Structure 1
Amino acid sequence: MFRQLSERFGHPLAMAILTLLGMWLIVMVTLPQLQMIDYSFRPNLLPAQRGGPEDGWTLGNYVTLFDNEIHRAIFFKTLWSSVLVTLLTLVVSYPLAYYLAKVATPRQAALCILLLIIPFWINEILRTYSWFIILAFRGPLNEILLALGLIERPIRFLSGDAGVMVGMVYAYILFMVFPLYNAIESLDDNQIRAARDLGAGSIRTHRRIVIPHAKPGIATGCIMTFMLAAGSYAVPALLGSPGSRWFTQIIYNWFFEGGNWNQGAAYAFLLLVLCIGFMSLVMKFFKVGLGDIAK
């Protein structure tokens, strides 16, 4: 990496870039994570008790999760719900990415990408709140369905997890579409034509040609979408009901309402381990490495 940067920018500038990158990784990534881990293994003590005999590493903060039935249920519910959000986003994004990469003309593709990006110029909270208005009990969606005669009475879309799922798929669709688009765009069109000339239908062509080639993009999109969904706070807070709480809301409560940073750090570290484990499983399932994903 240093040699490539030196050839492009020169030795001094390459050294400066790597130094700034290293400082950023240490100060903004490594040190906060290490501090969070240290917090998670220490009890929540008064300032006068810190440094005393009770101030030592303990697993008590982690045991709390497994002793608390409600928190444990929310933890596993967040896991499966994040997986479901990832699968739904993949199902929605794959046809769109294929259309952009192989079907649409350059002008059509540019217009579609622009239409996808423009809503993301708005803050995530405002975009999420717009779905709150759309899915409300007397919101536009219910009014349209009532006017068309498809339903007899308004539906409470925000009473369960449905609103959260819709909001998350919308919020993170770009993180799935663009990796898929980049992977599919690099596929040689002659391979698709050859498969069709040999009698393969659309489903078989995608299963045998397109999807295997797009594995790095699928893996990247799934990892990014899952991690964003599992770590989301705004979407479940705005679109979720009291019975559809997310694990990040529990972490927020420990930090800012309960004032127990040590317990919150333990829960946050468990969520981080969950995301790393999911990333490893996806990479193993699709048989890709970090180098493939980085492309």
Structure 2
Amino acid sequence: MWRQLLDRFGLPVAFAIVGVMGVWLILMVLLPQWQMIDYSLHPSLLPAERGGEKDVWTLTNYLTFFRNDIHLAIFFKTIWSSVLVTALTLMVSYPLAYYLAKVATPGQAALCLLLLIIPFWINEILRTFAWYIIFAFRGPLNELLFALGLIDRPIRFLNGDTGVLVGMVYAYILFMVFPLYNAIESLDGNQIRAARDLGAGWIRTHRRIVVPHAKPGIATGCIMTFMLAAGSYAVPSLLGSPGSRWFTQIIYNWFFEGGDWNQGAAYAFLLLALCILFVTLIMRIFKVGLGDIAK
């Protein structure tokens, strides 16, 4: 990377770019994460006790998490639901990305991309509220199903995880579509036509030609979608029921309702560590490196 910057921009500009990136990395990533780790390793003390003999590093905040069966269940439920959101988003986005990259005309692709992007000009909270209205007990979806004779009583879509899953798939679909679109668009269409001429069906063509070529895009989309879903707060808060709490809501409660920033930092770091583990696992599954994802 340094050699490419040096050859393209020269020594002064290359130094400036690397310097800005280094400052941004230190101030916006490393220092906040270190502060969170430091908070998580200190007990929650009164202001007068800070800096005293009780103010030492301890694993008490982490042990609190592992001793709380309810929080453990919510944690693993959040991880499983985030994986499910990622899988559903991939299932929805892959056909759409392939259509945009290889089937649609330039005009059709531009129109579809515009229709995808325009709703995201609106704030995420407002878009989530729109789904709240749609899924309401007396909302448009129930009224439509009732008018079509498909149901005889309203369905409580918001009583469980259904609303959360749908809302998250909609909220993060662009983070899956664009990496897939960029990866599939670079595929030479002659390879697809050759596979079809040799008798391969559509499923085999995608399995042997398109999907292997699109692995970096799939990995990038899955990583971004999972991390956004696992760290989401607005969508589960608005579309989830009391019985479908997200782990981020527990973290929020520790920070802003319980006032225990040390315990909240421990919970947040555990979620971060799990997300890093997931990223590593996805890279191993798809056999891609950071360089492939960054393309």
Instruction: Give the gaps of 5 or more residues in structure 2.
Output: none
Q: TM-score, normalised by structure 2?
A: 0.98
Aligned to 1:54: 54
Aligned partners of 1:238 and 1:282: how far apart in 2? 29
| Runs of 4+ residues over 6 Å off in structure 1 | none
**CA deviation map 1:81-118 (0-9, x unaligned):** 00000000000000000000000001100110111011
- Identity over aligned residues, as a percent? 82
* 2:294 corresponding residue in structure 1: 294
> Match for residue 94 of structure 1?
94
Provide structure 1 residue ranges, at least 5 long, that are not aligned to the other structure. Answer: none
- Which residue number corresponds to residue 281 of structure 1? 281
Aligned-partner Cα distance in 1 for 2:207–2:6: 42
Q: Quote the Cα distance in structure 1 between the aligned partners of 2:267 and 2:222.
A: 23
| Count of matched residue pairs | 295
- SS of match in other structure, 2:158: helix
Q: Does 1:183 align with 2:183?
A: yes
Q: Deviations along 1:123-149, whole A, 9 cap, x unmatched?
A: 110111100001100001111111111
Q: TM-score, normalised by structure 1?
A: 0.98
Distance in 1 (alpha carbons) for counterparts of 2:6 and 2:294? 21
Contact 1:2–1:15 under 8 Å retained in 2: no
Matches of 1:204 and 1:102, distance apart in 2: 17
Task: State the alpha-carbon separation in 2 of the partners of residues 86 and 150 from structure 1.
Answer: 29
Letter in 1 for 2:253: N
| Structure-1 residue corresponding to 2:229 | 229
Q: Which one-letter code corresponds to 1:284 in the other structure?
A: R
Residue deviations 1:266-286, cap 9 Å, x none? 000000001000001110011
Letter in 2 for 1:209: I
Cα deviation, 1:191-234, whole Å, max 9, x if unaligned, reads 10111111011111111111111111111100000000000000
Indicate the residue corresponding to 1:215 in structure 2: 215
Amino acid at match of 1:27: L
The one-letter code of the counterpart of 1:84 is: L
- Kindly report the root-mean-square deviation, in angstroms, between the aligned alpha carbons of the 2 structures: 0.9
Deviation at 1:11, TM superposition (A): 2.8
Identify the range of structure 1 (30-39 vs 7-16) with the bigger mean alpha-carbon deviation: 7-16
Shift of 1:65: 1.0
2:110 and 2:7 map into 1 onto residues whose CA distance is 33
